[in-house]
Chains A and B, each alone.
Chain A
């Protein structure tokens, strides 16, 4: 996966963790493709970086700083559902509770891909 190699350098990822990240990114890609979500090259890079950062937050038990409920009304409900599917899969894999803020952050990436297609 070419993007993962780029992200390894940019995010200073451990070589040993790459197969695990690759498996998760592929599963997430399957979900987005199922709903015909298409990212531009740059948008895909930052989306994948976000997913990896999310995994690292789960592993380190880092909780997001901030309240985002007021943003939910600006995001399409169908996009929230896709994001929930992604977060549910990842949280299950890492045995963690689903965080609504994480759903919203992923939903914004997806909504941005739909709105700002380059």
Chain B
């Protein structure tokens, strides 16, 4: 979290993902878009640098960036996701990195951010109870 907002990093094999970033910002999150080819392979590194709450990886298989982050930093990841709903389910199960096929739209960014904010709020409420 930064300034009370969730931080989400986007790494797309082709350097895309700007529509996802726009959806994240619209939903009240901070989007960090990694530019350039093979950006998904840097996802874990940037997540650590930015102390991010979530990473979104996009490539043909939906696996590389998530696998790399998992293998290098032990981040819990789910890969080969083919729909936003599948991503939301993985997020609810505690994944820190979501690996999708090529999807670049605002809806994905918005829905994932809304769900992440809701999860963070629930966590904070639980912490207060304890």
Q: Residues of A at under 8 Å CB distance from B? A: 10-11, 42-43, 45-46, 49-50, 53-54, 57, 64-66, 68, 71, 74-75, 101-102, 105, 108-109, 111-112, 115-116
Q: How far is the CA of A115 from the CA of B60 in the complex (A)?
A: 20
A66 touches B63 (CB 8 A): no
Asked if residues A105 and B67 are in contact (CB atoms below 8 Å), the reply is no
Whether the Cβ atoms of A105 and B41 lie closer than 8 Å is no
- Contact of A53 with B37 in the complex, beta carbons under 8 Å: no
Contact between chains at A50 and B14 (CB < 8 Å): no
| Interface residues on chain B, size class | 20 to 34
Q: At the interface, yes or no: B28 with Cβ under 8 Å from chain A?
A: no
Question: Given that A54-B61, A65-B103, A102-B60 are known contacts, is A49 also in contact with B67, CB under 8 Å in the complex?
Answer: yes
- Per-residue contact bits, chain B 31-72, to A (CB 8 Å; 1 contact, 0 not): 000000110011000000000000000011101110110111
Q: Which of B64-120 contact A (CB under 8 A)?
A: 64-65, 67-68, 70-72, 79-80, 101-104
Question: Is there contact, CB below 8 Å, between A50 and B63?
Answer: yes
23 contacts between A and B (CB under 8 A): A10-B70, A10-B79, A11-B80, A42-B68, A43-B41, A46-B63, A50-B59, A50-B61, A50-B63, A54-B60, A54-B61, A64-B60, A64-B102, A65-B103, A66-B102, A105-B13, A105-B59, A109-B38, A111-B38, A112-B37, A112-B41, A116-B38, A116-B42
Residues on A with beta carbons closer than 8 Å to the beta carbon of B61: 49-50, 53-54, 57
What are the interface flags for B6-31 relative to A under an 8 Å C-beta threshold, 1 for contact and 0 otherwise?
00000001110000000000000000
